[in-house]
Structures are given as structure tokens and as C-alpha cells.
């Protein structure tokens, strides 16, 4: 029986494949769109049973060729570009495709674990998984929100359906994401190239570099996926973050201190010119989350005890990996 991972060559998907391998699972059907061939690096060390293009995978599902052969679907594939302006593409890729997979899984009684996003909360300050807290600001966020709504409308379920609202995920295997890679990734390479990290000036009452996000290491997010896989009786939509909002300054300081072998505060680094504050790009005005913090009540009540690394722990380990040490 196959474990299907969509977006398998992507950031979270490839780390999920690696974690399945570590758990002794190699009967994996990797599904992705490799128009960006650079992503194959993320799967080069993995053991899989087969690979299918995302369109071919859907065609095989609809034809019945895969009936009875799938143990679970871990759906990580999506267009995650929050600046993508083509709403029709976003809805077809993220919403329509996800609906087709979920419908098949329900018909075949196959567990379905999927990637949602904390972007559904928009500029709000409440992060419990409730409709009143959800105000998406862009097409990406809306596509994720609408699929969560579709999941909520399902009545009696024949198999597990669980969504994870990822907060700001960072870590290995994100290099192909370009400008959509994490703050930690960009801070590391920027410091290496320019000997400074650039952060945005203050906004919405936050000081320079003081905007706060819930930064979660990719392997901690993967651990929650595996916990759901091991607990097929758990369904629902759950936040996936640390439950601790930390400043962008903390990320920059963790990167710089790891590279330099120091222990300076962000204020000290800014005074030395190693952190520089720059104006907001006009295209982000009104579309920027200045604060996010996962409410983990539902996840913990479901029984998940996965521990999440702080920025100081997770970003430092990531920076060391990027340094090759």
C-alpha cells in the first residue's frame, strides 16, 4: 500500500518523505509538478516507489487505476506565492485540485492530511480555528480558507480528514522557493553577501524589526503530520506553530550570532549596522501580517504532544546546516 505525498519535491513535502523513510516507509508515491527541475535535489536522497506528475496522478485516481492501492494521502502540494495575482490559477491549483483529492479519499475511505495556512487569519489578532477569526487578504489565503470551509461542510466522514494551518515555516529544502523562502533563509544569505540583515521598519505599533510571527521549524511541522498519520481517528483543522510569537529581530539575531559565534542582542547588532531597517514595499501595504501566534488549544486537546523549537534553537540549527557545520 502506498503513502502518497503531493508536493513531494517541495519544501515541507520533501522533508515529510525523508521522515517517512526514517520511519521505515519506502512505499511512497511522490506527486509533484517538476516544471521547476531544481526541486529534484530535495528528493535525490529519498527512497520512493514511484513518481507521478500531479495531473497524471489525478487522472489515475479518476480512472480507478489506483483504487485499493493507497494507504493515506498527505497533500502538501500547492501554489504558495502570496503575491500571485492570477486568482483563477490559484483556485484551480489549490482549491479545485484539493477538492478532487479529498472527494476520492472519502469515496475510498483513505485518510487525507492536508496543508492549510495561517494566512487565512489575515491581519487579525485571534488565531483559534474559528470562522470569525478568518479574514484572508490575498488569493492564496482565500484558496486555503475556501478549502477549509469545504472540509467543514463535509458531514459524516468515511475516513480521517485533517488540515494543518502552517504558520511561518522555515528550514532545510526551501532553497527553490526564491523570494517566498523564509526570513531565516534570506537573512542567512543576505548576511553572507552583505554583512547585514535587512528588516522592515516598524508598523502597526511594532518597533523596527519588531513585527512578530510564529516561526516553526519544518521538521516540527512534519512531526505533527506523522502524529496525525499515526492517529487516524483524529480529524479537524488544527494550527501548526509553536504557540510563541517572536520578532523578526530575533530571527536576524539568531542567524548573525550563529555565523559569528557571538551572543549579541538585536539592539546591539542594529547599533553596529549588522541589522538595517528598510521601508515597506508598496505592494505589501495592507496585505502584511504584522503579528501571528498559533493557538494550540485544539491540537493539544486532540492529544498531540509534539514539542516545537524556539527561534533561538531552530534558526540556529538551520543556520549551522546552511553553513555546512
Active site residues: 140, 177
Could you give the C-alpha distances from 203 to 144, 208, 311, in angstroms and in order? 26, 8, 21
* Helices 97-108 & 139-153 angle (0-180, nearest 10): 20
Whether the CB-CB separation of 48 and 24 falls below 8 Å is answered with no
CA distance 156 to 150: 13
Three-state helix/strand/coil letters over 130-143: CHHHCCCCCHHHHH
Query: What DSSP line would sit under 166-234, residue for residue?
Result: E-EEE-TT-GGGGGGS-HHHHHHHHHHHHSSEEEEPPBTTB-TT--EE-EEEHHHHHHHHHHHHH-TT-
Q: Of 254, 272, 264, 250, whose CA–CA distance to 196 is shortest?
A: 272
Q: What is the 3-state secondary structure (H, E, C) of 25-40?
A: CCCEEEEECCCCHHHH
User: How far is 56 from 238, CA to CA, in rounded Å?
Assistant: 30
Q: Which 3 state secondary structure label does DSSP give 148?
A: helix
Q: How many angstroms separate the CA atoms of 43 and 72, rounded?
A: 20
Question: Is residue 298 classed as helix, strand or coil in its secondary structure?
Answer: helix
Q: Which residues lie below 8 Å from residue 324, measured CB to CB, with a gap of 6+?
A: none
Spatial CB neighbours of 86, under 8 Å, sequence gap ≥ 6: 139
Assigned C-alpha cell, 110: 483513505
Amino acid at each position: 500500500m502506498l503513502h502518497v505525498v503531493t508536493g513531494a519535491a517541495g519544501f515541507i513535502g520533501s522533508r515529510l518523505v525523508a521522515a517517512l523513510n526514517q520511519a521505515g516507509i519506502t512505499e511512497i508515491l511522490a506527486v509533484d509538478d517538476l516544471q521547476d527541475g531544481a526541486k529534484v535535489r530535495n528528493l535525490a536522497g529519498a527512497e520512493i516507489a514511484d513518481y507521478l506528475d500531479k495531473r497524471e496522478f489525478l487522472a489515475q485516481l479518476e480512472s480507478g487505476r489506483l483504487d485499493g492501492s493507497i494507504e493515506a494521502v498527505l497533500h502538501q502540494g500547492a501554489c504558495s506565492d502570496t503575491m500571485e495575482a492570477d486568482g483563477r490559477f490559484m483556485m484551480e491549483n489549490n482549491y479545485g485540485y484539493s477538492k478532487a483529492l479529498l472527494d476520492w479519499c472519502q469515496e475510498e475511505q483513505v485518510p487525507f492530511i492536508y496543508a492549510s495556512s495561517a494566512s487565512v487569519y489575515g491581519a487579525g489578532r485571534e488565531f483559534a480555528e474559528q470562522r470569525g477569526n478568518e479574514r484572508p487578504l490575498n488569493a492564496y489565503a482565500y484558496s486555503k480558507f475556501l478549502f477549509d470551509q469545504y472540509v467543514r461542510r463535509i458531514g459524516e466522514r468515511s475516513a480521517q480528514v485533517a488540515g494543518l494551518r502552517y504558520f511561518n515555516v522555515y528550514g532545510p529544502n526551501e532553497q527553490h522557493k526564491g523570494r517566498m523562502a523564509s526570513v531565516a533563509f534570506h537573512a542567512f544569505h543576505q548576511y553572507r553577501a552583505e554583512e547585514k540583515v535587512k528588516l522592515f521598519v516598524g508598523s502597526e505599533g511594532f518597533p523596527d524589526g519588531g513585527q512578530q510571527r510564529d516561526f516553526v521549524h519544518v521538521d516540527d511541522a512534519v512531526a505533527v503530520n506523522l502524529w496525525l498519520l499515526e492517529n487516524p481517528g483524529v480529524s479537524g483543522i488544527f494550527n501548526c506553530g509553536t504557540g510563541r510569537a517572536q520578532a523578526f529581530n530575533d530571527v536576524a539575531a539568531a542567524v548573525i550570532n550563529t555565523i559569528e559565534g557571538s551572543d549579541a542582542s538585536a539592539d546591539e547588532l542594529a547599533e553596529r549596522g549588522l541589522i538595517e531597517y528598510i521601508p515597506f514595499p508598496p505592494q505589501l501595504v495592507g496585505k502584511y501580517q504584522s503579528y501571528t501566534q498559533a493557538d494550540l488549544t485544539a491540537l493539544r486537546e486532540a492529544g498531540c504532544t509534539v514539542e516545537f523549537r524556539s527561534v533561538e534553537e531552530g534558526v540556529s540549527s538551520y543556520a549551522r546546516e546552511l553553513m555546512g557545520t
